[in-house]
Amino acid sequence: MAVNSRGKMCNLKLVAVLLLAVASVDLRHIERRPSFIGCVDSSECSKEQCCVLGGGRYSSPQCTNLGEVGDSCRPYGTVPFNTTVDYPNGYSATLTNVHFIMCDCATDLVCDRDSSTCQLPQILTRNSVL
């Protein structure tokens, strides 16, 4: 019976170590940061959003909705980038996979090259555009 108790104790220790490992990984992503930092990576935003850094000197990154029909867009897309931003209060944030000023168009929309707006894709047929 002592062997059985020892086995259970080893299993409990293993579970405790695994829980601590998982908790430390999760805590690494949930850092204490000022409330003006809405996101540090687009993966923190919903599927309908991306993390956007504005063009101002002390812009704070925020989750922003993907472009809807009629919204402005960049015809050749936006390329996510990585950067570090510093603020006057001494806070520094490392940003990954963020977009500059705007997100791409929402899923199933395209950026029209003529109007630079998000639109439904046009289906080309043999003789016309539908």
Residues 119 and 111: their CA atoms lie apart, in Å, by 6
What's the CATH code, domain 34-130? 2.10.80.10
pLDDT at position 28, please? Answer: 40
Instruction: Enter the tokens of residue 61.
Output: 């990154």
Total residue count of the chain as it appears in this document: 130
Question: Per-domain residue ranges for the chain?
Answer: 1-30, 34-130
Distance, in Å, from the CA atom of 86 to the CA atom of 64, rounded to the nearest integer, reads: 21
On the question of pLDDT at 109 being above 70, the answer is yes
- Rounded Cα gap, residues 39 and 93, in angstroms: 10
Residue 27 — very low, low, confident or very high, per pLDDT cuts 50/70/90? Answer: very low
CB 41 within 8 A of CB 28: no
What's the mean pLDDT when you consider all of the chain? 82
**Interval 66-89: pLDDT, tens:** 999 999 999 987 899 999 999 999
Contact 28, 52 (CB under 8 A): no
Q: Is the pLDDT of residue 61 over 80?
A: yes
17-26, 54-63, 65-74: range with lowest mean pLDDT: 17-26
pLDDT at 13: 61
Binned at pLDDT 50, 70 and 90, residue 127 comes out as low
